[in-house]
Amino acid sequence: MTPTDAEQALTTRLEELRSRYLERLPDEFAELSALQGRLSGQEQDRDVLDELQQRLHKLAGSGGSFGCASLSIAARSLEQRIGAWLEAKELSLDAPTRRSLMDEIEALSRTVPERPERPERPERPAFRVAPEARTTSDSTLEVWLVEDNAELCRQLQQQLESFNYEVRVFRSIDELKGAMESREPDLLLVDVMLEQGRENATERLMDSPQVQALECPLIFLSANDDFPSRVRAVQLGAEGYFLKPLDVPRLVNRITQIFEERRAPPQRVLIVDDDADLAEHMRLVLTAVGMEARVLASPNDVMDTIATFRPELVLMDLYMPEYAGTDLAGVIRQHEAYTHLPIVYLSAETDIERQIDAMGRGADDFLTKPISDLQLVAAARSRIVRARQLEDRINKDSLTGLLKHASIKEAANREALRARRIGRPVTLAMLDIDHFKVVNDTYGHAVGDVVISSIATLLRQRLRQSDIIGRYGGEEFVAVLPECEAEHAQGVLEDIRRNFASLDFGRKGERFGCTISIGMVCSAAYPDQDGPGLLVAADEALYKAKRGGRNQVQQGFPAHTREVTD
């Protein structure tokens, strides 16, 4: 893959930073020697030793990151020895000890190789779905389906197109390979065992380097729930394995979830480290793989920076001149809003007892410097993924993945206030599934859950990424559409209403459809109302749609304008 201009610029910046670090090492070694020369063997040597330890601590933590692993090892050994001297009640360094220290400091320069090894760079994830190209309801994602059962193709095509996916059908792996010569899909759906000649699609896929090189997500469909087939799917990197007869709403929900993960905003990391070169190196490494990383310039600004940058992970050095990492972690944990913010100490400290003690004071984990670029990226990614999962569990409904009642109300109020501040309208819509009690009573709550999940998936697929969606109650939903005029919102909601009515649900061969009623209001018609007021008005419009016969969109207007609009 050819690097972009931005990626090349980051690589160049990393090399410049590495070269600058190596150029400065002779001056650093000279400073260490000068400090050692000030030792007199008396108690007043503590201040000198303390500065020596701090400088060696930085070298121990940074050398490996810039291709000087031996320097890190030697500096750590000296740092630990000086630490032991400082912990002693009485300090008395005799002449032989001082000469030995001088020799070891002079030997540090010999640990730097003539051609320091360039660290292996982590790769930016390669996803077929470009976030910048998939941000509105007008964008259509292309799903390729390899299936030779005509009826199943028809059913899947109809259902997927209702969710705004464009479906292209192939009858064999050879047809698929031919199409791939000119383009790739956004997602590939493959029947494991094609009927024509009982072709094993997984074997053909595994034998095809062209197919294996696909960057798009892959999902298998199968009538066989056997372990070897599932293992083969895993080996091919499949992100789903669905059994026939297909639960189509569940399949669509998984497809939508995959695309949402690809379009998720960049992961945000705050770096707190007094070693400016190392901190900048880590920032560049994380930025190069698509994350947003920021270095905290002043520890006194930690809370303001967290409030504005909203990091999902804090990487913090343990030992810093002004404040210890444990001090800053403790301050962060004093704020209720950040009790779940992941904090990881990143330090050259190797003493296990001290690491454990530090972790007991506000942090979630401890990583030891020097840390490779690959390990740094992997550690940051995995922790942020888990943090996002935790946040979803706290704020989102488990069935639909949409915001819970309290969270969507808060979002509605926030966007209403923002709309007033920037002078742009926000539209709020309340949606309710018609006759939903009949669905539950007739087909059972499990089928009812499928219907609820389907409207949630449809909303996520048809609305913009900037729109906010929540489950307000059992079968009732709220959509907040920032900077959206009433006329445009009406068209989008009508499209959602029509597509939901076209979906096919069923149980044991019994098929049925559902409809929704929608009430909507635009803040432009309610200039004095905040979020709660707009929600009440949208609810009134919803009941107007219910009274009007259901399966329709009704727009609400303030009481003093109704005579004109009606």
Helix or strand run (H / E) with residue 285: helix 276-288
> What is the per-residue pLDDT for 430?
97
> What is the per-residue pLDDT for 156?
85
Mean pLDDT, to the nearest integer, of 294-320? 90
Model confidence at 133: pLDDT above 50: no
Tokens of 298: 């002043």
The burial of 488, by beta-carbon neighbours within 10 Å (0-12 exposed, 13-18 middle, 19 or more buried), is given as middle
Tell me which residue of 337, 342, 339, 476 sits closest to 402, measured CA to CA.
Answer: 476
> What is the per-residue pLDDT for 137?
44
Write out pLDDT tens, residues 197-222.
455 666 666 666 666 667 789 999 98
Measured CA to CA, the distance from residue 457 to residue 159 in angstroms comes to 12
Residue 144 pLDDT grade (very low, low, confident, very high; cuts 50, 70, 90):
very high
> What is the per-residue pLDDT for 130?
40
C-alpha dihedral sign at 225, 228, 234, 238: negative
Model confidence at 134: pLDDT above 80: no
Residue 172 pLDDT grade (very low, low, confident, very high; cuts 50, 70, 90):
confident
Which of 475, 476, 485, 540 is catalytic? The answer is: 475
Residue 54 pLDDT grade (very low, low, confident, very high; cuts 50, 70, 90):
confident
Write out pLDDT tens, residues 466-480.
899 999 999 999 999
Write out pLDDT tens, residues 351-391.
888 888 888 888 888 888 888 889 999 999 999 988 888 88
Tell me which long-range contacts 194-199 makes (C-beta under 8 A, separation of at least 24): 194/146, 194/147, 194/148, 195/148, 195/149, 196/148, 196/171, 196/172, 199/172, 199/173
Mean pLDDT, to the nearest integer, of 43-63? 88
Measured CA to CA, the distance from residue 51 to residue 39 in angstroms comes to 12
- The helix, strand and coil proportions of the chain, stated in percent and rounded to the nearest 5, come to 55, 15, 30
Who wins on pLDDT, 369 or 535?
Answer: 535
> What is the per-residue pLDDT for 1?
46
> What is the per-residue pLDDT for 204?
64
Write out pLDDT tens, residues 147-160.
888 888 888 888 78
Residue 500 pLDDT grade (very low, low, confident, very high; cuts 50, 70, 90):
very high
Tokens of 324: 């210890």
Model confidence at 129: pLDDT above 50: no
> What is the per-residue pLDDT for 542?
96
> What is the per-residue pLDDT for 58?
87
Mean pLDDT, to the nearest integer, of 10-38? 89
Mean pLDDT, to the nearest integer, of 396-404? 87
Q: What percent of the chain has pLDDT over 90?
A: 39
Instruction: Indicate the average pLDDT of the chain.
Output: 85
In the chain, the domains with their CATH numbers are: 5-111 (1.20.120), 140-262 (3.40.50.2300), 279-392 (3.40.50.2300), 405-565 (3.30.70.270)
Model confidence at 504: pLDDT above 70: yes
> What is the per-residue pLDDT for 113?
86
Contact partners, residue 384, CB within 8 Å, separation at least 6: 267, 268, 269, 312, 313, 342
Model confidence at 241: pLDDT above 90: yes
Answer yes or no: 563 catalytic: no
Mean pLDDT, to the nearest integer, of 520-524? 95
* Lowest-pLDDT range of 77-81, 114-118, 239-243, 337-341: 114-118
Model confidence at 440: pLDDT above 70: yes
Question: Whole-angstrom distance between the N-terminal and C-terminal Cα of the chain?
Answer: 59
Write out pLDDT tens, residues 325-334.
888 999 999 9
Model confidence at 131: pLDDT above 80: no
Residue 312 pLDDT grade (very low, low, confident, very high; cuts 50, 70, 90):
very high
Model confidence at 237: pLDDT above 80: yes
Measured CA to CA, the distance from residue 320 to residue 532 in angstroms comes to 47
* Beta carbons within 10 angstroms of residue 159's beta carbon: 20
* Beta carbons within 10 angstroms of residue 448's beta carbon: 22
> What is the per-residue pLDDT for 136?
39
Residue 401 gets the label, from left (phi > 0), alpha (psi -120 to 50) or beta, of left
Who wins on pLDDT, 439 or 509?
Answer: 439
- For residues 228 and 160, the answer to whether their CB atoms sit within 8 Å is no
